[in-house]
Amino acid sequence: MDGTNDAPYALDYSESMAFFNSAYNPTSAQSITATEFDIAQELLWAGSNEGRVASFYGCELRKYTGFRVSTTSDIRSILSITEGPLILTSDSLSLYTRQEILKLQKEDIEKKERIEKLRQKAMIEHGLVDEGNPIEEHY
């Protein structure tokens, strides 16, 4: 060795960014937020801060599947179970098959109800509704 770090297995940052994007974009702020090895297949699951999940196989980490779980939240955790990846975001828990088919999704209903109550309260305070009934404007 000549003292330089030119290991053949080291990945450049641009290569790791290409996992989620078809083309490398240096201005992209996308990052991996969760990883998990599959318990049934030779797959590595990776989730991103943009709500995407992808699976990879082989020593070269070739892409097997890739799909969007959430448009509003990052992937917090991935748990590999017999049926497929169980994916946690800040507002949902989803189970997918290894072929990207959604099997189960549980959203945070309480969070959505709180948001709706806050929205209703704001509309009442701004005079847009009267205790749930729209106010008619007369010209």
Picking from 13-22, 71-80, 110-119, 126-135, which range would have the lowest pLDDT averaged per residue? Answer: 13-22
Evaluate if residue 61 carries a pLDDT over 60: yes
* Residue-level pLDDT at 106: 87
- pLDDT beyond 70 at 17: no
With bands split at pLDDT 50, 70 and 90, how would you rate the model's confidence at 131?
low
Give the whole-number percent of the chain exceeding pLDDT 70.
68
pLDDT at 20 over 80: no
What is the distance between the alpha carbons of residues 107 and 66, in angstroms, rounded to a whole number? 21
User: What are the two backbone dihedrals, phi and then psi, of residue 110, each rounded to the nearest 5 degrees?
Assistant: -60, -40
User: How far from 139 is each of 16, 34, 123, 127, 133, CA to CA, in Å?
Assistant: 60, 56, 21, 16, 19
